[in-house]
Structure 1
Amino acid sequence: MWRVGADVTLRAEVWGKAPERLADGLAPYPLVAHLLDTLLVAGVLWDTWLSPRLRRLLAKELCGGDEGCARGWVVLAAGLHDVGKATPVFQLQAASPRAGVDAWRPLMATRLTEAGLPACDELAVQALATSTGRVARRHEYLGLVALSGHDPVELRGLRLGTDWLAAVAGGHHGHWYLPARDSAAPYLAAGMCSGGWADVQADLRGVVAAAAGCDLAETPILDPARAAVVVTLLTGLTILADWVASSDLVVHGGYRVIEKGIDPYSGGWPAARGDALVTVVASTVGSYVPPGNPRATVLGRPVAGQMRSLRPLQADAQRIGPGAWFVAYPTGEGKTEAALLRHMAGDPEGLIFGLPTRATTTAMQQRLGSIFAGTGNTVLLSHQYAAAHRVECASEYGLEWYSSSIRRLIAPLVAATCDQVLVGALRQRHAALRLLALANHHVVLDEVHTYDQYQSHLLKALMAWWGATGTRVTLLSATMPQWQRRQFASAYTRDEATCPDEAAYPAHWVVTGEVGQVAQPTLSQDQPDLRVELVSSDEATDRHAAWAKDTHQAHPGCHIAVIRSTVDDAVDTARRVQSALPGVAVVCLHSRMTVAHRARVEAQLIDRLGPRAAPGPPLVVVATQVIEASLDLDFDLMSSDLTPAASLVQRAGRLWRFRDDTQRRARFGVLPDGRMMHVVVRTRDGVITGRGSLPYFASELARVAQWLSDTPTIQVPENVQAFVDQTSLDLDQVCADLVNAEEIAAASRRIESATLNVSNLRQRVAAPEKRCRYADLNALTGGPEDACSLRDEDRMGTRFDDDQVSGTYLLVGEPAGVPLPVGTLAATGDAARVRQALDAMVSVTGARLCAALDEASASTVPTGWRPRSRLLAHARPVHVDQLSEHGLTYHERLGLIAADILTGAP
């Protein structure tokens, strides 16, 4: 092993990793070796992972378009990231609670003293332990001070255009720290970066700059209007390079190189490490491999020598270039394939496909996995329960590296819930890496009509970021209100005039900085009109159940859907329908089911009602709105609670979805002349109330009801856009109606909530007129004390609940829960058992229900829940035997429900 010798130079004393080895007579990993490793990893990421588009952007901003020159400055920024470790507070971990415990510290102190490097004096150590001085213990903050060369007191106003290298180092651990104005940290930092330590820091800068092929005296000056974008991208890349370079695989490989006699300070280090680091990046981060035949990849191989023909929208997609592409087309027109064809027609870059629910995300992961099979790409799944789903590896990089949501977004191909994308707009640690990942991919967001005002506000911020980075974005939806079109387009281009004034439908258009050009290719097939039977009732559940019974008796061979707006209503309706139709299969689907239970139901529905379903007996499905955007299913007849227009149109897309007239005629007896939807308006004394309309706005539902009353047949596609635009809730209008005004206020609270949570990405970083300073970067992340702490990864602060009460629970005990003792679950690190536990999790919203489950959890684990696996930490265990004690039960068909539901009359 490489051992400490008496003749090592002063600069070699400074460690970067593993100081505890000193206690065993072994040398720590030198700081210079880690800096150079990170530089080299960043170079590999530039060559293999960073998209050509981002390489061009950085080259333009750094070197006027010269990519070779830009590469040198990018890797230099990464290599300098840990210069702040060359300080006495880091080298001795001063003010640490373990200062008097670790055996290596006095050894290190002695060596530094012998080398002429001063330690922190006692007063400095005391100051570092105070709330106003603790920031000066952070090596990234010290790196900011060391690289800026400015008075640390003035760093709040640091100009990013000239001091971008310092800003990258300052943010590489996830937060851009900003001490309080009265903090002692700047004065402490100044002392840490002076004298002999300043010489060591200068020495390290010189070695790293030489390895990068750069002269620090000629550091480029960035355009002030673009500097924040560049710094954010470079910080994200530095974080990623540092993560890879800090892995045991890289550090242990470095020790072996040192043992061969290669000095990290010698010019031979890059050559000795280069090939190994290329292999490490390939086996962890990976890279996107473009398919050789895009059309065959998306549409399938030729059958009998004939390639499937492209639908009009899909043919147009291959000609869509840069920018944000908006697609508002009916279901069944191949929007997913169109997005993939657009993806493959452009620069080779990664793909993130964002969807509204876990079910659609998991289904998309499987679909993309099938499409990209044999191309060398693996499709990563990113949602709260992603670890519960096994992914077959189609390439050589290791899936265990993608253990967190932010790392999963780094993968070349990602199927994610929209939450995983929208969280990029929130203030959080490592915001720079998440934003880099989102900019490094072509981002496709499906079912955008499901986004409420809160989510739309978050997406607006991200659209500004994507516009600033030239990211390709594709927004798909069966319908898209004009207010959404205008908001997203203007954010992307930073110009209110870029959205077409007339909302054509069906249509698609691209915005890149100019007014979007609208195209309306013909539909691939006629869309049947939709006749709506609108009824009002104070007893909506009775009306749905009676309709299902009568409809089945009239059409006993047909598949029927009943869609309710709340879980409790869906459960109650399913019970009543099953009681009325005892010989018919009735399936219930909603969000309050365990992961495994819901997956079984979804698989059953796909098998019976999906695109490859064989003819079979009739099925009645009672579900919440999860079915609207979750599964690719085909029903003959449907009853629905009244919803906003966009959702009703989306639900109608599940009627006659696959256009199989032969099976339709067989089930109906004759071929119907149009689609029919039974819509129940839930009222109280004939009035749509706020409580009865949840989770929607009563005023919006009143508009929808009035429109359908006046126009009971929706001509498709002719009436669709008018239906959506004339009934959607417009926050800009003045509402004289009291109910309307209250609901506008409620919607405004959603916007206000988003404004409090967002990172000011659009206003501070992506705005071209903004001359950003270091304090603006701090707004992206805050500090550790005020950064977001997101317990539920699937929601991640991107969904607005008026009561803000939700939770994730782990059911323990058979038959509904994981069949393992709580103690075993807490202690397990076994991947199979963790997946088993994830399968038994259920997400719940509502104050009363969460309170009952919290009490049941307290009885299950009275001493608290501290599991070994991080994947289980966010859930609260509840033993199934405790459910009945708190008025709950888990039903094998209906999921988690109040026990008294089963005792009441159906």
Structure 2
Amino acid sequence: MATVREQCPEPDPVTRPWAKHTKNGEHALVCHAIDTMEVAYLLYPIILGPRIRRELDRAFEPLQAQAQDWVALFCGLHDLGKFTPAFQALVIDVAKKRFTEEDHEILDRNAPTKARRRWDTKHGLGTAAHMEDMLKAAGASHDTAQLIGHVLGGHHGWFPGPGVIRGIKKKDDLGNQSWARRRSDLVRAVAALRGLDFETPNWSRVEMPSLALLGLAGLTTISDWVASDSSRFDYEPWPTDLLTYRDHARKQAEQALERTWWTAWQLPTCTGYRDLFRKSPPRPLQQAVEKVLNQCAEPGVLVVEAPTGEGKTRAGLQAAADLSRRLGLGGLYLATPTKALSKQAADDVRELMRATNSPLDVNLVYSGAAAELRAGRQEDQIRPTAVGEHEHSGDEDGQDSLEWFTRKRGLAFPVGVGTIDQLVKSVIRSGHNYLGMTSVSNKVVIVDEAHAYDLYTGLLVDQFLWFCGWVGVPVVLMSATLPANRREELLEYWHAGAEGRAPDPERTRVVEPGSWQVTWSGAQRSAQSFDLSDETRGRGPVRVEHVSDSPAAIAARVVERVGAVGTAIVVLNTRVRAQDVHDRIADLLESATRRPELVLFTGESQGVARTEVEARVRMLLGKGSPEDRHAIVVGTQVLEHGLDIDADLMVSDLCPVDLLFQRAGRLHRHARHNRPPGVKTPLLLIADTDPAEREARRPSARTSLGFSTGTSSIYLPWILGRTRAVLTDVLSRGTWDPLDEIGKQVHRVYVEDDPLIEPGWERAWEAAELGYERRRQWLRFQASAVMASLVTTPRSLLRLTRHSGPGGQTRPRDGRERDAK
């Protein structure tokens, strides 16, 4: 509970304004400024990455004091705009008790009434206006004064424009010269607590680069929220001695970070694979990662291209640990396409934390994680209160601070695992987007399943990689089916950001398909191919057969193959088809003497129900499942990845070739010695329209390529058609060696200009291609409408939060598109 002391007889004028007024009482503005300053000083080396810190050092070097002190001071001054009649009068009774009678008239003029519920000036704008004027008076250039002022004034999520600030200076809201003089006195008093002279004559030599401004903006908001946790920072209405209060605030800040385990990730001196994962010997993939990073001395991008089950996740974590140690970083964030994958990956990251003897826990970061965190250990959480409480209704702080520290906690805390959406929100023009960029600046970012993102989300990922290059964030990309041209696009965006230029499409053209390799692209580029492990090679080729796409035919083939013994995974493209096939299998098994376990798993399973279904699927088909297991799991795309499961038989609806490879990776994934007769070799049944039925169509009826019901509403017909054409040869052979063939097949479907058109179906192919191009154009338009523009000048940083459309729109509006790569 916050402690409260009575008013002293003659308070210092700088202690009169209040900052927070809640059930805990009142908290003096100068005290909240000191609280925030002390938090910012401690978080400075934890949150801000090396490149941002170097830019801040250069910016404040003329002031002959540590940049860390100046940045902490500015963070503490974020609420200076509360020292105005407009804000103080919001609780008029409190204001009149705190201020002398000579201020009562202007307070009354600014007090809200029933007829005027809103007030004119938000306190962030007051901060921007005063800091700009005070810095100019101290000798700072117009640009430096304005940029610092506007960044501090945008601490609730939106950077104000110059015109807005010019307008409020003409209003009564900020008070007269007496109020301005007292605000400046507060600034000097707080600066003195850090041993700083605000009126230093060297301000004219200070220039603020865009990276320094980004770091100041993000650290200001995060420090404000931490210091607003009233359970950790006592409310002090009337401080009698600011130096004594500073010492008290420093101790509270240290305890707050210590109790929430908010500290940088400390790495051991050796971060090789054997040092981190002692119980298992490294595979060739992990040895290749070690080799390409051996001479790494600056940020870059590591691309890990390896098949499912080869150990990509451990290779990525090994790289993150090694890069963090080499580059002096303090954390990692692992991004996955889905929540399910995030939960699974969290266990791997926890193992890494134990291997590095770190006390840090993993923070899950995705929609819905807030409820999980609130149900967890309360003592480990930051719970800001009264942040923006006295702002306008519908205020720019729409992303409330408590939600940010729960739903997005891992972005600011050292170690996080979550969905890719939480990362790409930082490149969407919306409030607080700069927080994401600041929060990853001192981390290694790992992007798992880099091939799995649709064109819209992929464009956001491109933009995010540009900002990673700009900020100096090393990135690890992991994929099993990344087209070679897509790999080059991702690398080009990162390097364009690092060099502060626009991406050049000419640098991304490739003619050769990709292969199993590890690529490091930093100041220099090196690629290391590797042999697949014996376990992966042991899976061998896959037998491939066609099956009619009718639910009845699929159900009959599954029961025929594994009705009596064995296991099967059936992946359908829509929930309706999955339910239909499941029910038909259940009917066919009614009279069976030995029925297999039958499970339905679709995206409709959420929360506890999903967790229970996943647990059951793992029990039936996971690595520890019994040798005599007998089960059929029917589902949708949720079975593609995120589950370490294995089956004797796989049935899959026709889907893009890269996703088919992903699905087929569940066949004979684990070493087993007693596979049932008929499926001792992995068997893949591809459910597609019957070829004879297609050929029977009259030429006039061939206006579409013809796919299973609902399939063309999930995947684009152009990509499905090209996949079908590539698989024609596979089906004619009856065998598929995906480990050797998938690179060329992905290249052929997504990269090559080969038309692959079937004779007699020209009209259908033309319509499919036209739809594909229109879809790509529409998705590009949608993405460009919400994406933050590239930062090319310090002033362009202020455009990051310019709102356009719904914030956080990380998926296409219709949610249809999956494969327009």
Query: Shorter-chain-normalised TM-score: which range?
Result: 0.7 to 0.9
| Deviation, structure 1 residue 293 | 8.0
Which AA in structure 1 matches 2:597? A
Alpha-carbon distance in structure 2 between the residues aligned to 1:505 and 1:34:
56
Q: Which residue of 2 aligns with 1:893?
A: none
The count of corresponding residues between Structure 1 and Structure 2 is 742
Task: Give CA deviations for 1:295-321 in whole Å, capped at 9, x if unaligned.
Answer: 69988775xxxx532112212334534
Which AA in structure 2 matches 1:718? D
- Does 1:425 pair with 2:427? yes
Q: Which residue of 1 aligns with 2:285?
A: 313
Q: Is the 8 A contact 1:534 1:679 kept in 2?
A: yes
Work out which of the residue numbers 686, 699, 706 in structure 1 matches 2:725.
706
Q: Is the 8 A contact 2:370 2:406 kept in 1?
A: no
Which AA in structure 2 matches 1:338? A
Alpha-carbon distance in structure 1 between the residues aligned to 2:104 and 2:358:
54
- Does 1:18 pair with 2:33? no
| Deviation, structure 1 residue 146 | 0.9
Q: Which residue of 1 aligns with 2:132?
A: 148
Alpha-carbon distance in structure 2 between the residues aligned to 1:129 and 1:317:
64
Secondary structure, in 3 states, of the residue corresponding to 1:462?
helix
Which AA in structure 2 matches 1:375? S
Which AA in structure 1 matches 2:458? S
Secondary structure, in 3 states, of the residue corresponding to 1:248?
coil
Q: Is the 8 A contact 2:276 2:318 kept in 1?
A: no
Q: Any residues of structure 2 matched to 1:98-109 within 5 Å, and which?
A: 105-106=92-93, 108-109=95-96
Q: Is the 8 A contact 2:156 2:432 kept in 1?
A: yes
Which AA in structure 1 matches 2:544? E
Work out which of the residue numbers 272, 276, 282 in structure 1 matches 2:252.
276
- Does 1:535 pair with 2:557? no
Which AA in structure 2 matches 1:666? N
Secondary structure, in 3 states, of the residue corresponding to 1:177?
coil
Secondary structure, in 3 states, of the residue corresponding to 1:252?
coil
Q: Any residues of structure 2 matched to 1:269-668 within 5 Å, and which?
A: 269-284=245-260, 286-290=262-266, 292=268, 302=278, 307-318=279-290, 320=293, 321=296, 322-345=299-322, 346=324, 347-373=328-354, 375-387=358-370, 389=372, 397-398=380-381, 404-494=406-496, 495-496=503-504, 501=510, 502-512=512-522, 516-525=525-534, 527=537, 528=539, 530-531=541-542, 533=544, 535=546, 537=548, 539-552=549-562, 556-582=564-590, 583-658=595-670, 660=671, 663=672, 665-668=673-676
- Does 1:728 pair with 2:750? yes
Alpha-carbon distance in structure 2 between the residues aligned to 1:370 and 1:324:
24
Relative to structure 1, the CA distance from residue 151 to residue 240 in structure 2 (aligned partners, 3 Å threshold; closer, same or farther) is closer
Alpha-carbon distance in structure 2 between the residues aligned to 1:681 and 1:703:
14
| Deviation, structure 1 residue 248 | 0.8
Relative to structure 1, the CA distance from residue 281 to residue 365 in structure 2 (aligned partners, 3 Å threshold; closer, same or farther) is same
Q: Is the 8 A contact 2:655 2:720 kept in 1?
A: yes
Q: Which residue of 1 aligns with 2:387?
A: none
Relative to structure 1, the CA distance from residue 123 to residue 253 in structure 2 (aligned partners, 3 Å threshold; closer, same or farther) is closer
Relative to structure 1, the CA distance from residue 293 to residue 592 in structure 2 (aligned partners, 3 Å threshold; closer, same or farther) is farther
Alpha-carbon distance in structure 1 between the residues aligned to 2:225 and 2:621:
45
Q: Which residue of 1 aligns with 2:701?
A: none
- Does 1:205 pair with 2:187? yes
Q: Is the 8 A contact 1:10 1:115 kept in 2?
A: no
Which AA in structure 1 matches 2:616? Q
Q: Is the 8 A contact 1:429 1:787 kept in 2?
A: no
Secondary structure, in 3 states, of the residue corresponding to 1:449?
coil
Secondary structure, in 3 states, of the residue corresponding to 2:412?
coil
Relative to structure 1, the CA distance from residue 301 to residue 230 in structure 2 (aligned partners, 3 Å threshold; closer, same or farther) is closer
Q: Is the 8 A contact 2:265 2:358 kept in 1?
A: yes
Relative to structure 1, the CA distance from residue 212 to residue 163 in structure 2 (aligned partners, 3 Å threshold; closer, same or farther) is farther
Secondary structure, in 3 states, of the residue corresponding to 1:18?
strand
Alpha-carbon distance in structure 2 between the residues aligned to 1:192 and 1:730:
64
- Does 1:87 pair with 2:87? no
Alpha-carbon distance in structure 2 between the residues aligned to 1:12 and 1:355:
48
Which AA in structure 2 matches 1:618? H
| Deviation, structure 1 residue 615 | 1.7
Secondary structure, in 3 states, of the residue corresponding to 2:440?
helix
Task: Give CA deviations for 1:25-56 in whole Å, capped at 9, x if unaligned.
Answer: x8x32211211111111011124454556534
Q: Is the 8 A contact 1:39 1:76 kept in 2?
A: yes
Alpha-carbon distance in structure 2 between the residues aligned to 1:129 and 1:619:
68
Q: Which residue of 2 aligns with 1:119?
A: 106
TM-score (norm 2): 0.81
Q: Is the 8 A contact 2:335 2:420 kept in 1?
A: yes
For structure 2, the residue ranges without an aligned partner over 5 or more in a row are 384-401, 497-502, 695-703, 757-762
Identity of aligned residues (%): 24
Secondary structure, in 3 states, of the residue corresponding to 2:686?
strand
Q: Which residue of 1 aligns with 2:398?
A: none
Q: Is the 8 A contact 1:41 1:244 kept in 2?
A: yes
Q: Is the 8 A contact 1:353 1:444 kept in 2?
A: yes
Secondary structure, in 3 states, of the residue corresponding to 1:719?
helix
Alpha-carbon distance in structure 1 between the residues aligned to 2:189 and 2:125:
21
Q: Which residue of 1 aligns with 2:156?
A: 173
Alpha-carbon distance in structure 2 between the residues aligned to 1:280 and 1:486:
44
Q: Is the 8 A contact 2:481 2:746 kept in 1?
A: yes
| Deviation, structure 1 residue 597 | 1.8
Alpha-carbon distance in structure 2 between the residues aligned to 1:608 and 1:196:
75
Secondary structure, in 3 states, of the residue corresponding to 1:680?
strand
Q: Is the 8 A contact 2:27 2:235 kept in 1?
A: no
Relative to structure 1, the CA distance from residue 804 to residue 252 in structure 2 (aligned partners, 3 Å threshold; closer, same or farther) is farther
Q: Is the 8 A contact 2:320 2:446 kept in 1?
A: no
Q: Is the 8 A contact 1:297 1:372 kept in 2?
A: no
- Does 1:780 pair with 2:801? yes
Task: Give CA deviations for 1:174-204 in whole Å, capped at 9, x if unaligned.
Answer: 11133877x9943445862641111012112
Q: Is the 8 A contact 1:254 1:273 kept in 2?
A: no
Alpha-carbon distance in structure 2 between the residues aligned to 1:391 and 1:17:
24
Relative to structure 1, the CA distance from residue 188 to residue 121 in structure 2 (aligned partners, 3 Å threshold; closer, same or farther) is farther
Relative to structure 1, the CA distance from residue 753 to residue 671 in structure 2 (aligned partners, 3 Å threshold; closer, same or farther) is closer
Secondary structure, in 3 states, of the residue corresponding to 2:652?
strand
Alpha-carbon distance in structure 2 between the residues aligned to 1:80 and 1:391:
31
Which AA in structure 2 matches 1:207? A
Relative to structure 1, the CA distance from residue 63 to residue 670 in structure 2 (aligned partners, 3 Å threshold; closer, same or farther) is farther
Task: Give CA deviations for 1:77-98 in whole Å, capped at 9, x if unaligned.
Answer: 20221111111101112xxxxx
Which AA in structure 2 matches 1:137? T
Q: Is the 8 A contact 1:393 1:399 kept in 2?
A: no
Q: Which residue of 2 aligns with 1:751?
A: 780
Q: Which residue of 2 aligns with 1:877?
A: none
